[in-house]
Amino acid sequence: MVTMTVQIRRKGVITLPVEMRRRYGLDEGDVFTLVDLGDGSFLLTPLVSQVARLGDQVTRVMAEEGADLEEMLEALDQERELYYQEHYVQT
């Protein structure tokens, strides 16, 4: 466990040390959950965006498969059409 000292500034702003931001990939605008542990302590946890997490997964799979954006968009169009045919077209 690493201990660092931070200071509350005007309007309650706390600056996280650059080492922590780099280690955990934190950036301006990231959202956190603050849990009051009830003894004067609290836990600050980054709230990871599901969109960002899924985007990272898609990027990783595309790189592994050697796919490009055009191929992905074409596959999505095909899946969308198949879904539409299966769920909305009366036969």
Helix, coil or strand: residue 37: coil
pLDDT in tens, 2-24: 888 999 999 999 999 999 999 88
Compute the average pLDDT of residues 31-35: 92
- Structural domain boundaries of the chain? 10-47, 51-88
Q: What is the pTM of this model?
A: 0.50
How many residues are there in the chain? 91
Sign of the CA dihedral with 71 first, then 73, 79, and 85 last: negative
Q: Write the DSSP symbol of residue 14.
A: B
More confident residue, 84 or 54: 84
Q: Please give the helix or strand (H or E) that residue 10 lies within, else none.
A: none
Average pLDDT for 78-87: 93
